[in-house]
Amino acid sequence: MVTYVDAAEAPLKNTGQIRLYGPEDFAGMKKAGQLTARCLDALADIVQPGVTTQEIDDFVYKFGLDHGALPATLNYRGYTKSSCTSINHVVCHGIPNTKPLRDGDIVNIDVTYILDGWHGDSSRMYPVGQINRKAERLMQVTYESLMLGIEAAKPGNTTGDIGAAIQTFVEGHRYSVVRDFCGHGVGRLFHDTPNILHYGRPGEGVELKPGMIFTIEPMVNTGRPQVKVLSDGWTAVTRDRSLSAQYEHSIGITPDGCEIFTLSPGGLHTPGLTLE
């Protein structure tokens, strides 16, 4: 049985209990989330053929520090970069390096800023130069699956309703949902309970209550769902080397739905894509 503790009284570790946050906490998450979203907006003009993912990471680091925030991934469990940059068949946790991006690549950039103790976790896909139809369609379906998951994120529904909404839509387009990584509680902790699976059945899992804060971050493959982690210990790739995409938002459950903390202030929710 899951019980709920007031966030202010809860110890700062993952206790397995789902924290419920109040209006001031939501305001803190909004501030952190909006800083992350502004960084992701700025990256739309920076991602170009020839740019290295290390240069992107340098921008993310500096943008954070310039605005009083620290990248949460920096020295997180041995990770040494300020962002994750996942190109083409890389599913997630790609490590920025000095290899230039190439025309036709698609890259996910995942940023989490800690601002006043709150974690704003979000990622978007960026096309590099001119991309093909297949890549564009994958990105569209992945983004729409995230937004369908967010629509299901409301009191009375369960975490299973979120996963089912995402999985049904993705598989309806003959793509697959990655099982090995999931969304997560977020707030004063980077990765907290509950896990938010991007697949499942309606009504399963944990009931959603106002005050819950978590991410939804579906990873979608054009091929099989299986992934493997490379010998660097981080980079997750599709086993069949098929193309993969991901978008992520941090959200909080409200009495009548949810608030998206990481919405793009510049309308750049899907950089380089036109959604019908």
The total of other beta-carbon atoms located within 10 Å of residue 122's CB is 27
CB of 164 to ligand MF3, least distance (A): 21
The one of Co ion, ligand MF3, none whose footprint includes residue 93, by CB under 5 to 8 A per kind, is: ligand MF3
Sole binder of ligand MF3 in the list 15, 67, 76, 132 (CB under 6 A) = 76
121 near Co ion, judged by CB under 5 A: yes
3-class secondary-structure state, position 63: helix
Q: Per CB under 6 A, does 161 bind ligand MF3?
A: no
Q: Whole-number minimum distance, CB 130 to ligand MF3, in Å?
A: 28
Nearer to ligand MF3, 13 or 77 (CB): 77
H-helix or E-strand spanning residue 257: strand 257-260
**209 within 8 A of 155, measured Cβ to Cβ:** yes
Q: Does 112 bind ligand MF3 (CB under 6 A)?
A: yes
- Which residue, 111, 120, 115, is CA-closest to 84? 111
Asked whether position 242 contacts Co ion by CB under 5 A, the answer is: no
Task: Give the integer Cα–Cα distance in Å for 170 and 172.
Answer: 5
3 state DSSP class of 254 = strand
Q: Does 88 participate in binding ligand MF3 (rule CB under 6 A)? A: no
57 lies in the binding site for ligand MF3 (CB under 6 A): no
Least distance (Å) from Co ion to the CB of residue 34? 16
Total residues binding ligand MF3 (CB under 6 A): 13
Q: Is residue 248 a contact residue for ligand MF3 (CB under 6 A)?
A: yes
Q: Is 161 in the site for Co ion (CB under 5 A)?
A: no
On whether the CB atoms of residues 249 and 153 are closer than 8 A, the answer is no
Q: At what angle do helices 159-172 and 133-151 cross, to 10 degrees?
A: 150
# residues near Co ion by CB under 5 A: 4
Beta-bridged to residue 252, according to DSSP, are 213, 259
Smallest separation, CB 82 to ligand MF3 (Å): 9
C-alpha dist (Å) from residue 179 to 34, 85, 244, 248, 266: 28, 20, 13, 15, 32
Q: Which residues bind Co ion (CB under 5 A)?
A: 110, 121, 215, 248
Q: Which residues bind ligand MF3 (CB under 6 A)?
A: 73, 76-77, 79, 84, 93, 110, 112, 121, 215, 217, 234, 248
